[in-house]
Structure 1
């Protein structure tokens, strides 16, 4: 299972600093949506230039104009781009078409999809995305009673390649791996740690052992 770090910071210098600290311990560097909105698409180029050996994941959360927005990110150096799983099928198809053109991957982000999530995961998988990200956002995670187990259950049931994002920590990442996820996405567990490099190394160990 690969480890993805969400660079959920708001400026490029902070993102580059965090990426430099953790890169050796992770497989995928994710530019979070707020970072892209704050720093712009040029941040993608900067992160890829600094870490050409890493996959760069751009969380655009595209809800319309799928082919156009995905192409913007791919041209800037992205290896993976997200489109909203809740978007119109043609938006997903458009992003996938851009992915084929550039030889890159599109991920369907299932954030906001709570009703019939397994059904929608299977539907978007058939539209050609590389995998689906079963994602509980920060707001959902903050609500009482949130548990990552719901995401894992849906991933196991859907039967298609998936990643998990939703407050993964050292004590839950093994369960993510055991559920069959291809990628585990960690954010706060790394960037809020006293030593992000140590936190990333520990998570990577649990992801692969």
Structure 2
């Protein structure tokens, strides 16, 4: 199955978020109300983006670490379809988030950190988590490490075999998607590649073209 394209909207305010998003939105599948945007604007960001784009899947990337029921409920009531948790959240917290997600017919995503435990991932799946993110961190990228290691690539397949939809992210460019050839990626996230592009629509189309080439 061809991966979906997710745009990470991590602007510092709604004005700077909506300009590029409006240009690219026709060619993306999932809109991520990023952590930075939610910190800056609160869940107003989710509510407004839901109102503007009622047909799109919306992720509230709030990276829940605790208070799972409370935070998840607020996100889903604001209009999110998916919410995110950090890998370090307790299993009790993740279980709370999954329980609330089921009330709203929503889905839960866990973002892997620098360390990875296959056993812990299996617990997430047993609890009902649908999505996991394999990430090249922004800090690692800023330090000059632009590689996708063999362990990262193998992790995609391992997690997909557990039954997760696997998302890849971390400053992804269309030109590097080929590294995932043959791997069961479910979602490709692009943030700066679309949101900071001179032509966000063209950039989103370029990413969709690259996705269709890697996963025909």
Using structure 2 for the length normalisation, give the TM-score: 0.89
SS in 2 for 1:178: coil
| Cα drift, residue 148 of structure 1 | 2.4
In the superposition, relative to structure 1, how do residues 202 and 146 fare at CA in structure 2: closer, same or farther (>3 Å)?
Answer: closer
| Cα drift, residue 22 of structure 1 | 0.7
SS in 2 for 1:10: coil
SS in 2 for 1:202: helix
Does the 8 Å contact 2:21/2:195 carry over to 1? Answer: no
| Cα drift, residue 78 of structure 1 | 0.4
* Partner in structure 2 of residue 186 of structure 1: 190
Which string of whole-angstrom CA distances, capped at 9 and with x for unpartnered residues, describes residues 7-42 of structure 1? 111101222222211111100011110100101101
In the superposition, relative to structure 1, how do residues 66 and 187 fare at CA in structure 2: closer, same or farther (>3 Å)?
Answer: same
| Cα drift, residue 196 of structure 1 | 1.1
* Partner in structure 2 of residue 172 of structure 1: 176
Q: State the alpha-carbon separation in 1 of the partners of residues 145 and 15 from structure 2.
A: 36
- Note the aligned Cα RMSD (angstroms): 1.6
Alignment of 1:198 onto 2:199: no
Does the 8 Å contact 2:20/2:194 carry over to 1? Answer: no
Using structure 1 for the length normalisation, give the TM-score: 0.92
* Partner in structure 1 of residue 38 of structure 2: 36
Aligned length: 207
Alignment of 1:151 onto 2:152: yes
| Cα drift, residue 176 of structure 1 | 3.4
Q: Which has the higher contact order (CA 8 A, sep 6+)?
A: 2
| Cα drift, residue 208 of structure 1 | 2.7
Which string of whole-angstrom CA distances, capped at 9 and with x for unpartnered residues, describes residues 172-198 of structure 1? 224336321100011111122211110
Range with bigger deviation, 187-196 or 101-110: 187-196
Alignment of 1:65 onto 2:61: no
| Cα drift, residue 115 of structure 1 | 2.8
Q: State the alpha-carbon separation in 1 of the partners of residues 181 and 7 from structure 2.
A: 16
**4+ runs deviating over 6 angstroms:** none
- Where does the alignment leave 5 or more consecutive residues of structure 2 unmatched? none
Q: State the alpha-carbon separation in 1 of the partners of residues 115 and 110 from structure 2.
A: 16
Q: State the alpha-carbon separation in 2 of the partners of residues 208 and 100 from structure 1.
A: 32
